Structure 1
Amino acid sequence: MTEPAACRVLLVEDHPIFLEGLMAAIGADHGFSVVAAAGTADEAVAATRTHAPDLVVMDLGLPGRSGIEAIREVLAAHPEVHVLVMTMSEDDDSLLAAMRAGARGYLLKGASRDEILRALHTVAGGGAVFSPQLAGRIGVLFASVRGTTAAAAFPTLTAREREVLDLLASGLGYGQIARSLFLAEKTVRNHVGSVFAKLRVHDRAEAVVRARDAGLGTVPRPAGQADVQLPPAAT
């Protein structure tokens, strides 16, 4: 039987020693083939066009334009490519910017070879992967962004009304919302009625559509990603 073709990998990294180690780690897995390396955002864009990789491993701290800009430009021209960030940056702004740009994973440098290969396989397969140090902050981070977006979308709603609308859009019934918020069910119904009036909608279905358009009702996850996997901490 013919063996499946190896996943074509482009490495974007400007530190020669780290790049050498990364190439050695990936070279140990026959499921991957490093087709090119780049040291800047512009080189990454050009190499993607020339070598048609399936997977790009992207550093963020590149000379000149950042890795975030490179991710945006690469995916705008080649949306089928999967991007895994591998960086020293563990701040929330970098994590959120990378996910918004379209990265499917975020791994900190210093990960073990096994962690790196596991992350590569996960992202190449359409999944999402994050370093254990960052995983616990992802839900809170996206929830914060979602709340800010919802407040801008529904400025006439109170914070409690947005909370009720969020749970309503998540598929919860009035009784479930009441238990979740420690309210009487009648109070929840009153909030829902107020939401309907302020949004000028006639029923729950219409309210849910408006809510989901504003990002409520689901915990955000980068588009197109499968289950999130977390590599175990290195021992």
Structure 2
Amino acid sequence: MTIRALLVDDQSMVRAGLRMLLSGEPDIEVVAEAGNGLQAIAHAARFAPDVVLMDIRMPELDGLEATRRILATDPSARILILTTFNLDEYVYEALRAGASGFVLKDDPPEQLIAAVRTIAAGEALLSPSVTKNVIRHFTRLHRDPPPPAVGTLTARELNVLELLARGLSNAEIGKALFISETTVKTHVTRVLQKLELRDRAQAIVLAYRSHLFEDDPITGPAGVGR
């Protein structure tokens, strides 16, 4: 199955480089390019890409507002944020708006290609440490009460959510909790459904913003094994 990608960046040289990189992959097709947020919204509606690679800072309409508008029209859209900043408040806000993750523009090419495939597969890109740094930094400025739906989670689901918030993969969660990867997937699905979250990106934002666990989910689990 071919992944249809929309490239959004106000610098034509950057778009050209991204197109050259992605077009060299047999399973990725660049269906359109946009130089600002308004064009991104129009092209997303017209071409229905599987993944939108979205720059943050652009003229006319920035990537944050474009992300919000695209997801308001199509909640199933998958948006991968591109940035040159590893601590950028716009990135955190984009994750809150529903973006599925982000990569740095100077990351290795293979990491960007893997990110596109990860996002297209319906997963959220949360493992890079820079993502954790962004979320940790900006959620320290806010504290919201946990949503009531957290009370509907079982003890095991809370364990899974905590490890998920630390950026662990399904395989790593399974190893930590001594359960199969298939069972982990089931728990993750139930957690997202109960909390009405679209993906792991929103789950990690919720965990940080509400200070759901006693310890920092990055540095260590507070409840696993209890």
Which bin holds the TM-score, normalised by the shorter protein?
A: 0.5 to 0.7
C-alpha displacement of 1:52? 1.3
- Relative to structure 1, the CA distance from residue 31 to residue 137 in structure 2 (aligned partners, 3 Å threshold; closer, same or farther) is same
Aligned match of 2:50 in 39, 49, 54? 54
Q: How many Å separate the matches in 2 of 1:141 and 1:76? A: 27
SS of alignment partner, residue 148 of structure 1: coil
**Structure 2 counterpart of 1:137:** 133
SS of the aligned residue for 1:64 comes to coil
Q: Is the 8 A contact 2:51 2:120 kept in 1?
A: yes
Partner of 2:79: 83
1:111 aligns with 2:107: yes
Question: Does the 8 Å CA contact 1:54/1:80 hold for their aligned counterparts?
Answer: no
CA change 1:167–1:81 in 2 (3 A) is closer
Q: Distance in 1 between matches of 2:92 and 2:196?
A: 10
Q: Tell me, which stretches of 5 or more residues in structure 1 are unaligned?
A: 154-165, 173-216, 229-235
Q: 1:171 maps to which residue?
A: 155
CA deviation string 1:51-106 (max 9, x = no partner): 11111000001112210000000111111210000111322522210101111011
2:199 maps to what in 1?
A: 225
Q: Partner letter of residue 55 of structure 1?
A: V
Distance change in 2, residues 1:136/1:80 (3 Å): closer
Rg comparison, structure with higher value: 1
SS in 1 for 2:106: coil
CA distance in 2, matches of 1:143, 1:61: 21
Q: Distance in 2 between matches of 1:74 and 1:64?
A: 16
Give TM-score, length-normalised by structure 2: 0.63
Contact 2:80 2:99 in 1 (8 A): yes
Mapped to 2, the partners of 1:34 and 1:48 lie a distance apart of 12
RMSD: 3.3
**Which residue identity does 1:34 align to in structure 2?**
V
- Any conservation in 1 of the 2:86–2:134 contact (CA below 8 Å)? no
**What is the match of residue 14 of structure 2?**
18
Q: Amino acid of the residue matched to residue 77 of structure 1? A: T
Structure 1 pair 11–131 and aligned structure 2 pair: CA distance change class (3 A): farther
Q: How many residues of Structure 1 are paired with residues of Structure 2 in the alignment?
A: 165
Identity %: 29
